[in-house]
Structure 1
Amino acid sequence: MSQCQAATAFHSRIVTFIVTFVVRRSVVTKDSGVGSKQELIGRIKTRRGGRFVGGSELKLKLKLQPQESYETCRRTMATHNKLRSYLVSPAELNSALKLNASKLSHEPRIIPLCASWFLPNDGRNGYETFLAQHIPHSQFFDLDAVKDEHSPYPHMLPSASDFAVAMRHLGIRREDSVVVYDTKELGIFSAPRVGWTLQVFGHPKVHVLNNFRKWVDEGYPTESGEPKTPAVTEYEVPQLDESKVAAFEQVKEIAKELGKEGADEVQILDARSLGRWKGTDPEPREGLSSGHIPYSISVPITDLLDPKDKTFLPASELKAVFESKGIKAEVPIISSCGTGVTAAIIDAALTEAGYPTQQRRLYDGSWTEWAQRVKPGEGLIHKSE
């Protein structure tokens, strides 16, 4: 039984109970210490009272506060259990879900959204891992489906209208809080990309669970199988916040100027493994050259996650990682990776570490677009030993 249900049951019993006190007015014993009706009521309220003898009787009825309904209680407690930070713990999410409004309610809800996705050379399937185990009442966001279908590069942002259609069929309303989470196997991987996608399309309340592996290990509820088909919502077509997205032409112009005297400072961060950044390890996509954008800084996601449970490191440790790589809060930042997925891990870590969100962008096409579009003679693919 929830706290609200227990409170409601208690009030239901007490509010219908009318206490009638029989008081004989003529004599009040000295040891009672009661000399007036007002003092008597005061003692009743404090569960104290003396012995009364003789005289006529006076009936007093205690007026209790009106019954607090379950919904009122739930709304009150939900107000105090809002998810405040971008990264939320399993305990925070579990508490918030217990206070969720019903599906028929018009009140804002918390929607768990699974974003499981694996690299193309992995062999596992995100939707299959979702079916095997997920948070109750979750929906599944398919990164391979909600994208720009006309682009030759994987995972480019969808159009605003396609995004709105996806949100409608996921049963999400603009006023709902969305908590994105990953597969148990990878810990933190693709959920930040979906969280970032919701943010750039202006969804007001977006969070990332830190993380589903801990949710399972700490014993919170899970279920398996196909989710129930949600009622289609009326999610309006949003506007893309282009200030949060870096396009190929913009990054190319920056890369050509970096290192020149008088050039504007920009920090390009790369979330891929150090071997891929150096050009010594192959890319997971066949035929794609490895290497890095000139003057980019290697920030592998393994540097930002706890090696044991794949959760984000604490804020102070994340800040120390960025500072050790010379990343400055006051200089614009562009995050990149292989296809724009794990670059969002860097972006989320920057938020957690206290870096300002202004002048921060994510290179949507990332290395897959870069390696295919730059020309061999331009010198824009660097390798290091």
Structure 2
Amino acid sequence: MAIRQVHLQAYIVTPKELSDALTKNVPTKISTAPRVIPLCAAWFLPNDPEGRTGQQVFKQKRIPSARFFDLDAVKDHESPYPHMLPTARVFAKAMQNMGIHKDDEIVIYDSQELGIFSAPRVAWTLKLFGHPGVHILNNFRLWVEQGFPTESGEVEAVEGAQNEYPTPTLETSKVVDFDEMKGIAKDYMKEGAEGVQVLDARSQGRWAGSDPEPRPGLTSGHMPGSINVPVPELLNPETGALLPGDELRKLFISKGVDPEKPIISSCGTGVSAAVIDAALGEADFGKPEARRLYDGSWTEWAQRTSEADGLIRKES
């Protein structure tokens, strides 16, 4: 049987590109060829004013044949921090339960309400675990507005979940841990320091320390030397889509980010930091091998450091 061709090239894809790929790669029960699978990664902050959950909005409206990736389930359950990367076994089991094969092309999308928010985190996770075909839809809101099909209701059982997904190896070179971040913070502004740049995706108020964190008891503020790049600034305010590469590049330059120096993305729990990482890629800004993400992000940082030791800064 001839293997069907997958027609997705870019990391960030448009609704039309996804629609064309799904049309040209209609799955059949007997075919073993690679498929194009939409994967919903909708996730909301714990203080969401409407009390929404990703599972709820997935059932209310989704791309036909889509699967759901639960960020609150596919994680390191032994960690005290909310969304640390899962073990390879947990990841493989989750992919198997979703009926995803290693050679499937995965297009990850967010909720209609948030535009681009948590999908980049799931895409980043899949890439770190070596899944070869990973893309981000830009975005589901436009998919709906442009009249592409949706469905709702309970989700049918996934076919193919019995096919084992091979246990992968995590690419640790893209992940920054607490000890390294602490060393970077202590080296900030010291003569001869490497000049690592930390970009923080949280809101300006949370970064400055004037607004509370969404998790009770967690102080707000920022790491020494970090640069605030709130996620909304990376998106089209009307559509919630990621801005074009040239606009993103201008934005990073306006923030004083140097493409010649290493960049670490951070946020509240490591979710929206991946939006910065995706935006850097779309802008072709900085060296790919020098762009990394701090997995524990602010939740870990605020619990393991303090203002007294100078590692939490607030703006007056």
Describe the SS at the equivalent of 1:108: coil
Say whether 1:335 aligns with 2:260: no
- Tell me, yes or no, if the aligned pair for 2:96 and 2:164 is still in contact at 8 Å: yes
Q: Which has the larger radius of gyration?
A: 1
What is the CA deviation profile of residues 196-230 of structure 1, one whole-angstrom value per residue up to 9, with x for unaligned ones? 01011111110000000000000000001222222
Task: Map 1:130-279 onto structure 2 (within 5 A).
Answer: 130-230=58-158, 231-232=160-161, 233-279=163-209
CA shift for structure 1 position 326: 1.6
1:280 matched to 2:210:
yes
Q: Distance between the aligned counterparts of 2:106 and 2:248, measured in 1?
A: 24
Among 61, 83, 87, the alignment partner of 2:12 is 87
CA deviation vs aligned residue, 1:58-114 (integer Å, no higher than 9, x gap):
xxxxxxxxxxxxx86x93xx35xx211111000000000011232431111111000
Contact 1:336 1:363 in 2 (8 A): yes
Q: 1:137, 1:227 within 8 Å by CA — same for their partners in 2?
A: no
Quote the Cα distance in structure 2 between the aligned partners of 1:140 and 1:236. 20
**What is the one-letter code of the residue matched to 2:288?**
T
Q: What displacement does 1:266 show? A: 0.3
Long gaps (5+) in structure 2: none
CA distance in 2, matches of 1:292, 1:130: 33
Q: Which residue identity lines up with residue 152 of structure 1 in the other structure?
A: P
Q: Structure 1 counterpart of 2:275, which letter?
A: I
- Whether contact under 8 Å (1:245, 1:363) holds in the other structure is yes
Measure, in 2, the Cα distance between the counterparts of 1:338 and 1:377. 21
From 22, 28, 35, the equivalent of 1:109 is 35
Following the alignment from structure 1 to structure 2, what is the Cα–Cα distance between the partners of residues 255 and 103?
54
Q: Is the 2:307–2:313 Cα contact (8 Å) retained in structure 1?
A: no
Q: For residues 357-378 of structure 1, what are the alpha-carbon distances to aligned partners after superposition, in whole Å with 9 as ceiling and x for unaligned? A: 1111110110000000114531
Letter in 2 for 1:322: F
> Which residues of 2 match residues 51-70 of structure 1 at below 5 A?
none
- Match 1:374 to one of 277, 280, 305: 305
Q: Distance in 2 between matches of 1:241 and 1:211?
A: 27
Aligned-partner Cα distance in 2 for 1:384–1:304:
23
- Which residue of structure 2 lines up, in the alignment, with residue 304 of structure 1? 234
- Cα distance in structure 1, aligned partners of 2:170 and 2:186: 27
In structure 2, C-alpha distance between the alignment counterparts of 1:239 and 1:357, rounded to whole Å: 20
Q: Secondary structure at the match of 2:107?
A: strand
Q: Is the 8 A contact 2:266 2:293 kept in 1?
A: yes
1:67 equivalent in structure 2? none
CA contact (8 A) 2:55 2:68 kept: yes
Q: Which has the higher contact order (CA 8 A, sep 6+)?
A: 2
Tell me the TM-score normalized by structure 2.
0.96
Distance 1:104 1:291 in 2: 55
What percent of counterpart residues are identical?
A: 59
Amino acid aligned to 2:153: G
Further displaced range: 336-345 or 98-107: 98-107
- How many residues matched? 310
Gaps of 5+ in 1: 1-70
Paired residues of 2:40 and 2:110 also in contact (CA < 8 A): yes
Contact 1:138 1:227 in 2 (8 A): no
- Paired with 1:142 and 1:262, the residues of 2 have a C-alpha distance of 43
SS in 2 for 1:281: coil
